[in-house]
A and B are shown apart, each in its own frame.
Chain A
Amino acid sequence: MRRIGFLLPLVFGLALAQYKIGSHLPLTGSLSRIGTEMANGVRLAVEHFNATAPFKVELVLLDDESSPAKAVAAVERLVGRERVLGVTGGYGSNIIGPASEVAERARVPYITSGGLTRDLTQRGFRYFFRFTNVEGYAVVAADLIAQGFRAKRVALAHDDGAGGTDVARAVRAKLQALGLQLVFDSSYPGRSTDLKPLLEQIGRSGAEVLIFIGYENNYATALRGAQVVRPKVNAFVGLYSLITPSLIQDLGPLMEGVYGTEPWTNGSAPVALRAEEARFVRDYRGRFGQTPGYLAALGYVQTQILLNALKKAVESGSPTPEAVRDALATSQGETLVSAYRFDEKGDNVLYRTVVSQVQKGRGVPVWPKERAYGRWVYPQVPWTR
């Protein structure tokens, strides 16, 4: 009797995995490094959920190959054949746009933290939810400069793509609202291999702080060029995806002292969630053999939110995509990365990022004070002035 009793929950457990959620991420292609890390976070969230929930959820993870057309195909398969109750994932606004459209048509909720452009939440969609947004970055960065550094003159440089232009717009607005002066404000072509002329002009503009928006290759090019040009600024503040393991490894001392926003780093979680954070880091290391970065944290957190909404829908008796959507629309809370509450456009109006400074080769959260782990050093740049 006992032996059978032991088997029964197992059998029922397998039989009960009738709830599915889906995810599409760039596991191959130009964004593969980002996609694979996010995917790990998503997987871990599902595993943690299954360990404590009364039912099992199955994750269907598909590769969108960093391509809009393949992402559309992936989501078609998820909402069509796999009949998922929700979709978590996507990276890159140009991919999330078409992909989430498919989910919207199929009336399946879609949650993401991989695309910052404004028009993603301007489409009047009911099923689209975005955890991160540009305001969350701009506000925190601007605050640090105005209240932390107490600087007055700022230079702003951004890549000319859709994402960079969008973020720059938000940053510009926040800086002006805080009464700071933009002494230099320009875009640069995303494909540039030499940013020395740009840095030269910034050096001559009289700026105290440089806010630099771009992708990894832009940061690398800029920081290398800055070693030669040595612009006379007091701080280099990069926005998204600056403090990454590969850049820190490759650029080494060229990164010392730069600021970058990180949605999450180990130790930046709100105090009340430190235990959960420790568990996340420990289990991630055990499962994937490396330390999680903020991409993994984002994948983890957005999936958590989706799964909690799913749980609500199941418990209320109607495990349908519509019910999951309604649960998402009314949910709010705190996560390792940020607080959340979605407005009617699906935007997380409570999103706030964290600014870290690279100190001794590691990103140390320094702003805002509630999330800080260390103290910032200002003025400091990786080149001698």
Chain B
Amino acid sequence: MKERGLLWLLFALLLILPPFLDEYLRHLLVSSLTLALLAVGWNLLGGFAGQVSFGHAAFFGLGAYGAGILSKAGLDPWLALFLGGGVAFLGSVVALPILRLHGAYFALAMLAYAEVLRTLAILLEGLTGGAAGLFSIPGLYLPGVDFGAKLANLYVILGLLLVGVGVAFRVRYGPLGLGLAALGEEEAARAGGVPVFRLKAQALFLSAFFSGLAGAFQALYIRFLEPPYAFSLEWSVYPLVASFLGGRGTVVGPILGTLGLYLGAELGVKQVLERGYHIATGALVVLVVLFLRRGVFGFLEGRYAVVRPRG
């Protein structure tokens, strides 16, 4: 399966290169890999299960605050990292009823969910620090390892991404994936005995966990949180656009889309168009939707996809 080969190559590169890069590039990689993990998480639901969410900032933010609050409370940061993902998972359990909705309604309901959480983060001051935010969150720590520098963090997020990709692979090409693909014809699937809701729920839980993991990592990396940042629309839109551009039905698509967008903007477009590269992003999105219906890496979908993604 060529997609697997591409992924191994990517990870090998990301494993070998960092010691040769300077801090600036390493920081860019950490930021973009965090987004990539978020995108992979999003795609589990939005690509594989066909439920496009416009509010994954909810899970990202839950993970971030979960990890941030626990770490500040004195818990071991590594534990806080994974528990952050757990908090996001719990958040998805709460959001389960929303899964009954479809299409635009589901997308918007998820957006509203993220906004609800954002306002709660502001109001529950005692827990979250309110509008002023959380400062000086204790970051990841290992004796002898310098987590102030970027290298260690890079390998951590790479490891997390590896796990996420592994799970995504299992989902995509395993029984869950086949079941989800059947959702392309939902009525027929139901009639055929496919437990539609249960499958979608599984996708939701996994999606939320990994998106939350990305948020948790971000909180322990930047070590500062405030509600408009943790639940920013950015975290909802970026994975959507990146997966869309990279190819929603694949595992590698969201990663390539994210890296392409982020690094392309930072290292490429920004050097030329000092300001206004957002305009370029917007224009790119419009062009891709109009002319490259299946995404820039759509050939991956076309050639390597075992099952078609649901529209």
Contact = CB atoms under 8 A, between A and B. Distances in A.
A354 B237 CA distance: 44
Interface in B95-120: none
A98 interface: yes
Contacts of A190: 131
Given A63-B274, A63-B275, A76-B24, A105 B149 contact: yes
Interface of A is mostly: helix
Contact of B275 (A28, A94, A101): A28
Contacts of B224: 68, 94, 97-98
Interface stretch (B84-92, B132-140, B177-185): B132-140
A80 B24 contact: yes
Contacts of A105: 148-149
B28 A73 contact: yes
B132 A73 contact: no
A161 B24 contact: no
A98 B226 CA distance: 14
Given A98-B224, A162-B132, A190-B131, A77 B24 contact: yes
Interface of B: 22-24, 26-28, 31, 122, 130-133, 135-136, 148-150, 222-224, 226, 266, 274-276
A73 B222 contact: no
A94 B276 CA distance: 23
Interface residues of A, number: 25
Contacts of A162: 132-133, 135, 226
Given A27-B275, A98-B224, A161 B28 contact: no
Interface in A118-144: 119
Contact of B27 (A28, A72, A94, A160): A72
A82 to B, nearest CB: 9
11 contacts: A27-B274, A68-B224, A69-B31, A72-B222, A73-B266, A80-B22, A80-B23, A98-B224, A119-B135, A160-B130, A162-B132
A80 B150 CA distance: 12
A234 interface: no
Contacts of B24: 73, 76-77, 80-81
Contacts of B133: 94, 162
Contact of A98 (B149, B150, B223, B266): B223
A13 interface: no
Interface string A264-278: 000000000000000
A189 B31 CA distance: 31
A98 B136 CA distance: 10
Contact of A161 (B132, B135, B222): B132
